[in-house]
Amino acid sequence: MFWNEVRRLRALKVDVPEDLRGWRWDSPPVAPPPLGVRISASDIANRYCPTGRDLYLKRRVRAEPSPAMLRGRYLHAVFKHSLNAAASIIEGGVQEGWELLQRFSPEDVAGRAAVEVGTTADEQGAKLARSIAVRVAAELEGAASRLGIADPRSLAAHAVPLVAEYAVDGGYIGLTQLKIDALLLDIVLEVKTGRPIDEHRLALAAYAMALEAEYEIPVDHGLLVYISVNSRVSIRAVPVAIGASLRRWFLEARDELMELVASGRDPGTAGNCERTCPFYPHCHGAGN
């Protein structure tokens, strides 16, 4: 999956000065402010509020996820469980795409995803799972015929090269533990189900620099994967070069939000709040 996008990524020129590599976590500007706080990658990349009041309230009140957030978590979980289920089937000895599709149950995958996030499985979740299985089946057919692989685990690694929810320590760069949506070789993936915004790229910078800090290997490329499920399934991957400008933007946003958290200051309500924000009732009243 996503090999065409990977080829486009490799062609992107990425210029990363040494002082912006994650392994320079103990020196400015990568070193986090010594404030005794940590924030998450989603705090930086998924900011609901222009003033940062969502981050202030997050540490003080309990907010129920909005329907849009719950929907996004469900589709994220379907994506992960689909990859894991397909890989497990291949590791069990299946070497042909048609047999993979025969053994793969989209309804079971959607059900497991729904249980994980606390919602109800639906046909759209099953539709997404089925679409991912079809893509994996095509990769399986190609790998089996091209490489002549007989070992099930090796074949699974070629057909499903994505490692879903790869955990990495974000502490070196001032973040909490991170779960990268997926890792494809040295390429980090962030899966999104809402409308595209520029800030989504900041999550890729966070993942890349955290991996560099932990393993001291360069991570210069990322993919933003946008998933939409309506009458049809759309899975669109956008190549992102994780270069100097994106890294500086991430570090500036990180420092700003860490200082906000450390100060304990209420930054006030924004004038253009989105009703999808889980903290909207706390700022405007449940009846507004």
pLDDT digits (tens, 9 = 90+) for 29-48: 999 999 999 999 999 998 77
Q: Is residue 165 within a helix (H) or strand (E), and if so which, with residue range?
A: strand 162-168
How are beta strands 178-184 and 162-168 bridged, if at all?
antiparallel
Provide φ and ψ at 11, rounded to 5°.
-85, -10
Does residue 225 contact residue 189 with C-beta atoms inside 8 Å?
yes
The answer to the question of residue 279 being in a domain is: no
CATH number for the domain including 15? 3.90.320
Closest listed residue to residue 159, CA positions, set 175, 182, 141: 141
Cα 278 to chain centroid distance, Å, stands at 20
- Any domain includes 229: yes
Q: Torsions phi, psi of 86, nearest 5?
A: -65, -45
Coil, helix or strand at residue 184:
strand
Give the model confidence (pLDDT) of 194-231 as tens digits: 889 899 999 999 999 999 999 999 999 999 999 999 98
Residue 275 lies in a domain: no
Interval 48-91: pLDDT, tens: 788 889 889 988 898 888 888 899 999 999 999 999 999 999 99
Selection from 11, 44, 42, 39 nearest residue 191 by Cα: 42
Report the mean per-residue pLDDT for the chain: 92
| Tens-digit pLDDT profile for residues 115-165 | 999 999 999 999 999 999 999 999 999 988 888 767 899 999 999 999 999
Structural domain of 157:
3-263
Q: Does the pLDDT value for residue 286 go beyond 60?
A: no
Determine, yes or no, domain membership for 96: yes
Instruction: Let me know: does 182 contact 237? Beta carbons within 8 Å.
Output: no
- Split at pLDDT 50, 70, 90, the class of 288 is very low
- Is the pLDDT reported for residue 287 higher than 50? no
Residue 285 lies in a domain: no
Number of domains in the chain: 1
Q: Is residue 281 part of a domain?
A: no
Cα dihedral: 272, 275, 279, 284 (round 10): 70
